[in-house]
Chain A
Amino acid sequence: MGNLRSVEKALAFVGAVPRRVTKPEDLTDLAAIVLPGVGAFGDCAAQLAQTGLWDPLREWAASGKPFLGICLGYQLLFEGSAESPGVAGLGVIPGKSVRFPEEVGKVPHIGWNTIRILRQSEFTREIRSGDFVYFVHSYVPVPEDPEWIALETEYGVRFASGVCRGALFAVQFHPEKSQRVGLQLLRAFVEVAACRERPTRSAP
């Protein structure tokens, strides 16, 4: 929905040349994939499967090529979600998404919250612990292997707000809606992708 457009505009703003892809053949000449992900976990997984993009996306994300997951696109990297029981995720990262317990406060978690950088990477070199980013979500992934966790946020409970490995970077918040800090993260991602000497493109 709207978020696809916002992600495109923000990527273009930081110098990328985003392109929407709708079928596996579109992936061949890409330097990077951005998976914004919108709606509910089950619907999104079903749509990706329908377009034939499911397996190529999983292979891409698992291969260590530049990949950015945003919000649901982050959650989809895991094995599943309490939002859609029985629906498998891409399974690139061990773990599942859970719903925020009601006692943490108001759910969905909507608004500006801080990130703490647990593990530095080239994606986060321009940002700091304590920087605010914009969240809108009711579910959050719990990585089984803490080594994946790059960013942490607190909302009643502490949760993994970002993961990173190789050229894969995925976040629960919306960099495309997080003003300066979000644009810096996107710029860093685009630079990582550009280092691979190809134009940057994006996937749905």
Chain B
Amino acid sequence: MPVLAKRIIPCLDVHAGRVTRGEQFGRAEDGGLRDVGDPVGLAARYDEEGADELVFYDITASVEGRKTLLDVLRAVSDRCFLPLTAGGGVRTAEDIRGMLLAGADKVSVNTAALADPDLIRAGAERFGSQCIVLSIDVRQTGPESWRVFSHGGRRPTEWEVLDWARKGVELGAGEVVCNSIDCDGMKGGYDGSLIRLLADALPVPVVASGGAGKIQDFGEVFLSGHADAALAAGILHSGEVVIPEIKAYLRTQGIPVRL
């Protein structure tokens, strides 16, 4: 019986050098994002609190945005000694390389992989499956059906979530992050059935994203959603709950965590 700890992963959406937060993939240009802090300072706080990993997304996905994200990665990896994942606007194997060199341990791909799935294969062959994360944005379209969206949740694709996730893993993705657009920022809990569908079917770790609103939601997504890790943003950034509190609760539920 593996005793791998379930991971709690703060997610930092970086826009114009600041960490921002929205709801249901709100966009900066519509004023749908709130500034919640400085990425390096926030990262240091999470490191201190015992985060198991940190995820940084460049949500501007422009050339300028990518440069800013690399600066953030360098600054964070200079002082925080925990695993870092970076993503947002990754189009080529060179983009992946740039993020790894700046201090990321894993790089997540999303829209560009949908346009050209071979990006996953190229990345996995060159840098190893363990550092290629497939990030998938979905909306529920039926009782047991979730459609994959590209372009930051703006465009529907032809893919059903499980088919795309399987394809990505087959091409070499070593981990899958699944973001529920419906649940994002709504604080009503993770989409447990979505996460369980993927976690039970895929041979790689599955990270749940979107919907954490209270401590019990984490227990739920590990126990009934079978997630390997849970991403959270809003409730952590605001300080509504802190990581040690989440982990202490998970431990009372018999869920293995690193304290």
Contacts and interface: CB of A to CB of B under 8 A. Distances in A.
Contacts of B83: 134, 136, 174, 177
Contacts of A109: 4
B82 A134 contact: yes
B217 interface: no
Interface in A110-149: 110-114, 132, 134, 136-138
A124 B5 CA distance: 22
A108 interface: yes
Interface string B1-33: 111110100000000000000000000000000
A108 B5 contact: no
Interface residues of A, number: 37
Contact of A183 (B81, B128, B175, B258): B81
B180 interface: no
Contacts of B77: 2, 5-6, 9
B120 to A, nearest CB: 15
A106 B4 CA distance: 10
A90 interface: no
Give the interface SS of chain B, mostly helix, strand, loop or mixed: loop
Nearest to B86: A2
Nearest to A5: B103
B103 A1 contact: no
Given A6-B77, A177-B83, A106 B203 contact: yes
Interface string B218-259: 000000000011000000000000000000000000000010
Interface of A: 1-3, 5-6, 9-10, 13, 39-40, 102, 104-114, 132, 134, 136-138, 154-156, 174, 176-179, 182-183
13 contacts: A1-B97, A2-B100, A5-B77, A5-B101, A13-B81, A106-B205, A107-B203, A111-B4, A111-B228, A112-B52, A136-B83, A155-B3, A182-B81
